[in-house]
Structure 1
Amino acid sequence: MTVDRLNLLLLLCTLVLLVAVAAVRLSARSGLPTLLIYLGIGMALGQDGLGIGFSDAELTQVLGYAALIVILAEGGFSTRWKHIRPAVPPAVVLATLGVAVSVGVTAAAAHWLLGLDWQLALVMGAVVSSTDAAAVFSVLRKVPLPRRLSGTLEAESGFNDAPVVLLVVAFASAGAMDRSAESWLVLPAQILLQLVVGLVIGLVIGRLGAYVLRQVALPASGLYPIAVLGLTVLAYAIAALTYGSGFLAVYIAALVLGNAGLPHGPATRGFADAMAWVAQIGLFVLLGLLVNPGELLEDFWPAVVIGLALTLVARPLSVVLSLLPFRRPWREHLLMSWAGLRGAVPIVLATIPMVSGVEGSDRVFNIVFVLVVVFTLVQGPTLPWLARRLRLGDSDQARDVDIECAPLDRLHGHLLSVSVPGRSRLHGVEIAELRLPAGAAVTLVVREGSSFVPQPTTALRRGDELLVVTTDRVREATERRLHAVSRGGKLAGWLRRGGSSGLSRTVETEQLGGGWSPLRSPAD
């Protein structure tokens, strides 16, 4: 690598990056999933395009793992624990029992319909059984589903990468089919152990990191996103080196850190989102370079057959069996079956048998590549339509506010930057009606490009930006109060949800910081 080659490489990578960024706009207008555009860019640069030769499956696997770490970390940062907490039990069952059912059904279809030997069939089933976190997160941001449903899909896509990676490695290992029956019975215990280790390490790193970042004020706000992302990578590395699941550790650590109320939270999520975009662009372009387009036509119909078996049989069966104890309505079963989106994860996992030297693994890679492209084209654009047809949309749900916290170290206080989104119930609420804890005050409102100091009777509007100054003692209580009013309106904390009964409720003094006491409602 010389300076001249470095300059050429930087020019090429920058051009690809800018084209990929511009392609996002094209994707938004056309409805074409961005991953297909990025794959197309990689294929255009490859052997059948501009002639860039690339066939290093091992390097693709390594870089793919690195990209998945960043993508999973961003998914954890952007996931609200209060939304997915009720959905964790069904998500865990989907990520374990559901994956096992999907692997078995898909492997049987690959063996009996395509004639693959059992090792390749099991590898195929394991590779395509995991839903893709990046694809699910990106689609759910456009589809206003009920929180119970969207939380289940988010948690499942974050959890199921870990057991699937372990299964693919086990099936692709040399002599996998020569194992004794006892060794196959030990495999679930080994997978469970790795998941437990990854879970524990993710929780420890997340909680310890959150505690340290709260106690140590960093000298620059830009250091917080770097530190938080670094902690998630640390969780992955420690778990991977201690026979644990690194992917589960990074997701859990990011989930804990993203919900810990750390300073500059929105900035951290924005940084993670940008890094995830870079990871996705690089990963998909690299995967497009690795594939040989001339070989894909031969495996088009096998990919369609496996995709139909996966989408119409394996996924619905795994959803029904996994959610049977939770008694979910059939409409949710149907939507969750169709929402089992595949993306970068299956293609990256398909490089594992290639690196392991499994015979016929090149064909598995081609089938998985075509399957992801074809069924992403079908499932992604039709998911919002299906949600509307099943009347599972939740477009009227109140949006929550975005709050960014900047510590004021020498003043022993915090400056909160609050954005009022379009569907927030803060709209129309007067400053005095916020009833913030004693020690907190709204000091500035920015509206339509101009700023002013609000009066107690100033009514907030959609799109407003607020600056709220709080002391250390009531910072968390202030944030909770703002979130509560954003979701429930000015009567949040006074009436039961919906308010139809007219019964007053006691407001927790912890939430309000002891700054006020509600009166009894007239109905009482």
Structure 2
Amino acid sequence: MTLQQLYVVLLIGGGVLLASITAARVAYRAGLPSLVFFLAVGVIMGEGGLGLRFDDAQLAQALGTGALALILVEGGLTTPWSGARRLLAPAGVLATAGVGVSVLLTATGAHLLLGMEWRLALLLGAIVSSTDAAAVFAVLRALPLPPKLSGLLEAESGFNDAPTIILVLAFSSTATGLPGPGHVFAELLYQLVVGAALALVIGWLGVVALRRIALPATGLYPLATVGFGVVAFAGAGAVGASGIIAAYLAGVVLGNARLPHRGASRSFAEGVGWLAQIGLFVMLGLLVSPARLPEAAVAALVVGLVLLLVARPVSVLACLIPFRVPWREQAFLSWAGLRGAVPIVLATFPIVAGVEGAWELLHIVFVLVMVFTLVQGPSLPTAARLLHLISPGQARELQVEAAPLDVLGADLLTLTVPPGSRLHGVEIAELRLPAAASITLIIRAGAAMVPAPDTRLAERDEVLIVATEAARDAAERRLRAVGRRGRLAYWLGEYGDRDGEPT
């Protein structure tokens, strides 16, 4: 490659990146997952648009799997363990038994309604049975859902990639016939147990190393944090275990430890995750052939309806009966199971394995993801209101960000008062923050001011709080409590726990 060609490649790459970032902003304002726009960018650049040809499924599989690892590391780093640990049981059942039920019902529908032979039908069912955390939370981030419900959706999406990948590999790699249930169960058990064990060990080693080793530059801490997650992914894959579950759980371990520059590490991981998503979706958009999408539309709609109206609701109902989840939340969980990057990446596995009819599966999955994301995504706020999970005008949960002040042993917390929050009109003194936490600055309508004890907070205020490490959790809980129930939150039994329940 000449220097001039390099400039052209960098120019195109930078332009695609900026266009995708702009598309992400448009998607957020429209209440749609960004993946729809990223995939569209890839299709426009491909052979049916600007003429860029890309049909290397093996390269797409390799790059896609690596991108998923980065996305899941970022997801783990931003998952609060305090809320997630209470949801491990229902999320684990949904991500394993729920996936199995969904695969069988979807495959049966594809076989009976489309005449698809069983192997392809089971492959298709396995490919589309994984929900996508990025797709779900791109839509839900603006919805003030009950924390347990949103946490369950997030945990399920983080865990169910591994079982679906195992099933797709099992159905793709057997040339003499379908694997038996015993073989599939043994493989699933090995990959999940060994992958989880490696994640815990590598995550713990990362925590010890980052706490004890003084790195020469601040920017190395975020790199090292993500690096440990990638090592967990690769190490698990090297021994035949699930790298996907290892990457996610290692991220959870690292993200919930008190590490130096934890805020910067999370911000860096979020940027890496966005870059991986953009590259992944654009590449997958390039991989499909637009001329073959119309012929896949009928099959995609049939399979999508079976998945949406039968397989997903039945799997949610069957798995959550022991956990006494309210029926309204079960209904929302059934409707909110969006599909995203993972199914399209998984559709490359049978292509690489040489399964006959695999390219048709890729186009069916692509159409299914695009159509049902466009249908389900914008409807989620309406569904949440109809099920009385949110109220008109209800404020979003406070999102508090932190930047470490290492020398002082303190953190700088930032929050924005959401419209409709009970924090509106509350005086600073009425917050009753811990003695080691103090509101130092309020930015209102673009102007900064140092608040007095009788200063009242207002909607859309940006608030800066300095708190010692010991007082930080108590300060966050108090702010969440007042945001939910107002200045009398304590007397109303609200203590600001992350799961939204009084203790």
TM-score by length of 1: 0.86
Q: 1:293 aligns with which of 283, 290, 295?
A: 290
Q: Which amino acid aligns with 1:171?
A: F
Partners of 1:425 and 1:485 within 8 A in 2: no
Shift of 1:324: 1.2
The equivalent residue for 2:476 is 483
Inter-partner Cα distance in structure 1 for 2:421 and 2:77: 21
Shift of 1:220: 3.9
The equivalent residue for 1:404 is 402
Corresponding position: 1:339 with 2:332: no
The equivalent residue for 1:413 is 409
The equivalent residue for 1:370 is 367
Inter-partner Cα distance in structure 2 for 1:28 and 1:399: 17
The equivalent residue for 1:497 is 493
The worse-fitting range, judged by mean Cα deviation, of 97-106 and 419-428 is 419-428
Q: Which amino acid aligns with 2:410?
A: H
**Cα distance change, pair 83–398 in 1 and its aligned pair in 2 (3 A):** farther
The worse-fitting range, judged by mean Cα deviation, of 350-359 and 413-422 is 413-422
Inter-partner Cα distance in structure 2 for 1:358 and 1:427: 59
Partners of 1:266 and 1:402 within 8 A in 2: no
Q: 1:310 aligns with which of 290, 303, 307?
A: 307
The equivalent residue for 2:498 is none
Alpha-carbon displacement from aligned partner over 1:488-511 (angstroms, at most 9, x marks no partner): 239799646159xxxxxxx9xxxx
Partners of 1:237 and 1:246 within 8 A in 2: yes
Inter-partner Cα distance in structure 2 for 1:32 and 1:53: 28
Q: 1:225 aligns with which of 216, 222, 230?
A: 222
Alpha-carbon displacement from aligned partner over 1:167-223 (angstroms, at most 9, x marks no partner): 1001000425165x5xx4132022112101111222222333234333445454433
Alpha-carbon displacement from aligned partner over 1:86-129 (angstroms, at most 9, x marks no partner): 32211111101100001111111222222222211111111011
Inter-partner Cα distance in structure 1 for 2:439 and 2:43: 53
Alpha-carbon displacement from aligned partner over 1:155-177 (angstroms, at most 9, x marks no partner): 10000000110110010004251
Shift of 1:293: 1.0
Partners of 1:424 and 1:487 within 8 A in 2: no
**Cα distance change, pair 418–49 in 1 and its aligned pair in 2 (3 A):** closer
Partners of 1:64 and 1:283 within 8 A in 2: yes
Partners of 1:430 and 1:457 within 8 A in 2: yes
With a CA cutoff of 8 Å and minimum separation of 6, indicate the structure with the bigger relative contact order. Answer: 2
The equivalent residue for 1:3 is 3
Inter-partner Cα distance in structure 1 for 2:488 and 2:251: 30
Inter-partner Cα distance in structure 2 for 1:402 and 1:389: 29
Inter-partner Cα distance in structure 2 for 1:270 and 1:466: 18
Corresponding position: 1:388 with 2:381: no
**Cα distance change, pair 444–291 in 1 and its aligned pair in 2 (3 A):** closer
Shift of 1:424: 6.2
User: Cα RMSD over matched residues?
Assistant: 2.7
Q: Which amino acid aligns with 2:477?
A: A
Alpha-carbon displacement from aligned partner over 1:280-301 (angstroms, at most 9, x marks no partner): 2211111111111111211211
Q: Which amino acid aligns with 2:142?
A: K
Shift of 1:32: 4.8
For 1:59-78, what aligned pairs fall within 5 Å after superposition?
Answer: 59-78=59-78
Aligned-partner SS, 2:49: coil
**Paired positions, count:** 490
Shift of 1:481: 1.7
Aligned-partner SS, 1:248: helix
The worse-fitting range, judged by mean Cα deviation, of 198-207 and 123-132 is 198-207
The worse-fitting range, judged by mean Cα deviation, of 54-63 and 211-220 is 211-220
The equivalent residue for 1:512 is none
Q: Which runs of 5+ in 1 are unaligned?
A: 500-506, 508-524
Partners of 2:64 and 2:280 within 8 A in 1: yes
**Cα distance change, pair 267–121 in 1 and its aligned pair in 2 (3 A):** same
The equivalent residue for 1:114 is 114
Inter-partner Cα distance in structure 1 for 2:450 and 2:297: 64
Shift of 1:264: 3.7
Inter-partner Cα distance in structure 1 for 2:132 and 2:433: 41
The worse-fitting range, judged by mean Cα deviation, of 32-41 and 413-422 is 413-422
The equivalent residue for 2:97 is 97
Aligned-partner SS, 1:376: helix
Partners of 1:134 and 1:343 within 8 A in 2: yes
Inter-partner Cα distance in structure 1 for 2:121 and 2:466: 58
For 1:184-333, what aligned pairs fall within 5 Å after superposition?
Answer: 184-333=181-330
**Cα distance change, pair 321–14 in 1 and its aligned pair in 2 (3 A):** same
Inter-partner Cα distance in structure 1 for 2:249 and 2:13: 32
The equivalent residue for 1:350 is 347
**Cα distance change, pair 452–296 in 1 and its aligned pair in 2 (3 A):** closer
Q: Which amino acid aligns with 1:259?
A: N
The equivalent residue for 2:499 is none
**Cα distance change, pair 221–458 in 1 and its aligned pair in 2 (3 A):** farther
Shift of 1:368: 0.9
Aligned-partner SS, 1:177: coil
The equivalent residue for 2:25 is 25
Q: Which amino acid aligns with 1:256?
A: V
The worse-fitting range, judged by mean Cα deviation, of 79-88 and 186-195 is 79-88
Aligned-partner SS, 1:404: strand
**Cα distance change, pair 353–466 in 1 and its aligned pair in 2 (3 A):** same
Q: Which amino acid aligns with 1:408?
A: D
The equivalent residue for 1:522 is none
Q: Which amino acid aligns with 1:79?
A: T
Inter-partner Cα distance in structure 1 for 2:23 and 2:442: 36
Q: Which amino acid aligns with 2:126?
A: A
The worse-fitting range, judged by mean Cα deviation, of 161-170 and 422-431 is 422-431
Shift of 1:437: 5.6
For 1:23-62, what aligned pairs fall within 5 Å after superposition?
Answer: 23-62=23-62
Q: Which runs of 5+ in 2 are unaligned?
A: 496-502
Corresponding position: 1:177 with 2:177: yes
Inter-partner Cα distance in structure 2 for 1:498 and 1:365: 49
The equivalent residue for 2:358 is 361
Partners of 1:445 and 1:467 within 8 A in 2: no
Partners of 1:398 and 1:487 within 8 A in 2: no
Shift of 1:141: 0.7
Alpha-carbon displacement from aligned partner over 1:453-474 (angstroms, at most 9, x marks no partner): 655565555524335263xxxx
The equivalent residue for 1:152 is 152
**Cα distance change, pair 437–4 in 1 and its aligned pair in 2 (3 A):** same
Alpha-carbon displacement from aligned partner over 1:395-436 (angstroms, at most 9, x marks no partner): 646733524242434xx6334243353366666666666666
Q: Which amino acid aligns with 2:27?
A: S
Partners of 1:401 and 1:486 within 8 A in 2: no
Corresponding position: 1:139 with 2:131: no
Alpha-carbon displacement from aligned partner over 1:383-404 (angstroms, at most 9, x marks no partner): 1111111111266467335242
TM-score by length of 2: 0.89
**Cα distance change, pair 219–426 in 1 and its aligned pair in 2 (3 A):** farther
The equivalent residue for 1:517 is none
Partners of 2:58 and 2:352 within 8 A in 1: yes
Aligned-partner SS, 2:58: helix
Shift of 1:445: 5.6
